[in-house]
Amino acid sequence: MQKVIRFLRGTAFNGLLILIPILLLWSLLDEVLLDIVAMAEPLAAMFPNHFLPAFLQPWISGAILLLLLCLAVGLVARITFVGRFFMTLERRTLGRISVYQLLKRWADSLLGKTGGQSGAYSCALLTLMPGRRQLVYVIEKGAEQTTVLIPTAPAGLSGQLLLVDNDQLNDIDTSVAEAMLVINKLGDGYQSLLKKSL
């Protein structure tokens, strides 16, 4: 009986841990969308009534408004001094939070940026012994040794951290996103990835 109670309690707790972030995200998105729709109602009034059903007009115009806002902010961020200002602001505020730094580096890596750009992770081949190589993510490169993450399949974002000598690593020209696709498919495409990047 105790095993059943422990199982039910553990399962319910795991379900709660999964549902809370989903519900928080849902409520946040709901509030944001309602605010955007409220801002877009004047824009929706400009659509002819025969163009869209009346109940869809605020939602469509809200989506258009959100897209235009994203484009405008993206264009402004491309201006050099504005980009530097936002990078400095980010570094002095959110950049001090270690979890944010980790998530930003992973996001940059998954968007295809390489190690030289914005601190994104890069990929390399680790030679464990002659004839045996392992795909790794380069986390931090030092003068003599490098910190690497050996990803596990099929997750690709978790694994074992190792400190290895630099002469054991061969940098490859592939993004973390491409490597992660191969890892998620349990190695299918590994050979073609290596041929392309070596």
165: tokens are 């000598």
Q: In this model, does residue 117 exceed pLDDT 60?
A: no
For the chain, give the mean pLDDT.
Answer: 79
Q: In this model, does residue 71 exceed pLDDT 70?
A: yes
The residue type at 33:
L
User: Looking at the domain assignment, is residue 158 inside a domain?
Assistant: yes
- What pLDDT score was predicted for residue 148? 93
Domain that holds residue 186: 114-197
User: Looking at the domain assignment, is residue 121 inside a domain?
Assistant: yes
> What span, in angstroms and rounded, lies between the C-alpha atoms of 168 and 134?
10
pLDDT tens for each residue of 122-165? 888 998 888 888 899 998 888 999 999 999 888 887 889 999 99
The residue type at 72:
A
User: Looking at the domain assignment, is residue 1 inside a domain?
Assistant: no
User: Looking at the domain assignment, is residue 66 inside a domain?
Assistant: no
User: Nearest-CA neighbor of 122 among 146, 154, 155?
Assistant: 146
- In the predicted model, what is the mean pLDDT of residues 38-43? 71
User: Looking at the domain assignment, is residue 182 inside a domain?
Assistant: yes
pLDDT band at 86 (very low <50, low <70, confident <90, very high): confident
Q: Where residue 192 sits, what CATH number does that domain have?
A: 2.30.30
Strand 159-165 and strand 169-171: pairing?
unpaired
> What span, in angstroms and rounded, lies between the C-alpha atoms of 190 and 188?
6
Q: How many domains does the chain have?
A: 1
Contact (CB, 8 A) for 96 and 81:
no
Q: In this model, does residue 50 exceed pLDDT 70?
A: no
User: Looking at the domain assignment, is residue 51 inside a domain?
Assistant: no
Compute and round to an integer the Cα radius of gyration of the chain. 24
User: Looking at the domain assignment, is residue 26 inside a domain?
Assistant: no
pLDDT band at 99 (very low <50, low <70, confident <90, very high): confident
User: Looking at the domain assignment, is residue 166 inside a domain?
Assistant: yes
Q: What would the DSSP string read from start to end of the chain?
A: -HHHHHHHHHHHHHHHHHHHHHHHHHHHHHHHHHHHHHHHHHHHTTS-TTTS-TTTHHHHHHHHHHHHHHHHHHHHHHSHHHHHHHHHHHHHTGGGSHHHHHHHHHHHHHTT--TTSTT--EEEEEEEETTEEEEEEEEEE-SSEEEEEEEPTTTSS-EEEEEEEGGGEEE-S--HHHHHHHHHTTTTTHHHHHHHH-
- What pLDDT score was predicted for residue 115? 53
pLDDT tens for each residue of 167-176? 999 888 888 8
